[in-house]
Amino acid sequence: MREEEKILSGILFNPGDPELKALKLRSHRLSAEYSRSDEAETEYRSRLLRQLLAAFGEGSFLQGPVFFHYGCHTRIGKRCFFNYNLTIQDDAPVTIGDDNNFGPNLTIVTPLHPMLPDERKQMLDGNGCPKRFCYAKPVRIGNDCWFGANVVVCPGVTIGDGCVIGAGSVVTRDVPPLSFAAGNPCRVIRPITEADSMNRKPDVLADNHVMPR
């Protein structure tokens, strides 16, 4: 089994494998090119993202700078906005739905390492050869979510549709749909309901109107 297949199967893999190193080097170069580009260079940026990512939906925007570890393991839906300093360490697949908004310094990580120092340093592969190993768990983010600044999403987490994640949160476990969650570690504070409508905040709404549902 190829090392990339091991990643996608959720088992230990060797991150120093030459094929994986080539994928990462390509992604790092494309990430760096995107980060150096001007946001007005829309066609150039679109071309880079088509090379870099598995999918990038129409109407989505990455402010930059960005860093993708593999790139080809990340799928981004339509009409998403990512503010400054996006980092996605996508050893395992990262799937992001439609109509999401992310504040600055979003970090999504999928790899995990052995807890014991000697196992983290070296283990034996199936042929008895000493190597370094890690493993990874996928991250999934639904549709219509809003993340504040400096959010970290940890390996294996699923965040449901319509969630709000507070600034500075470290999300270590799943968040159900239509939840407001925050903290380190992140926990669900309460469900999001009609009581959160801007109609309930006339001083902020001013002379604007909520769209009819």
The residues annotated with a catalytic role in the active site are: 113
Cα–Cα distance between 163 and 100 in angstroms, integer? 10
Q: Contact, 100 vs 143, CB < 8 A?
A: yes
CA angle 6-30-104, nearest 5°? 90
Quote the tokens at residue 86: 């996006």
CB hemisphere CA count around 141 (13 angstroms): 33
Q: 50: part of which helix (H) or strand (E)?
A: helix 42-52
Q: Contact, 64 vs 84, CB < 8 A?
A: yes
Q: Contact, 100 vs 146, CB < 8 A?
A: yes
What lies within 8 Å, CB to CB, of 151 at 6+ separation is 102, 103, 105, 106, 107, 165, 167, 168, 169, 170, 171
DSSP string of 122-163?
-EE-TTS-EE--BEE--EEE-SS-EE-TT-EE-TT-EE-TT-
At 83, phi and psi to the nearest 5?
-80, -170
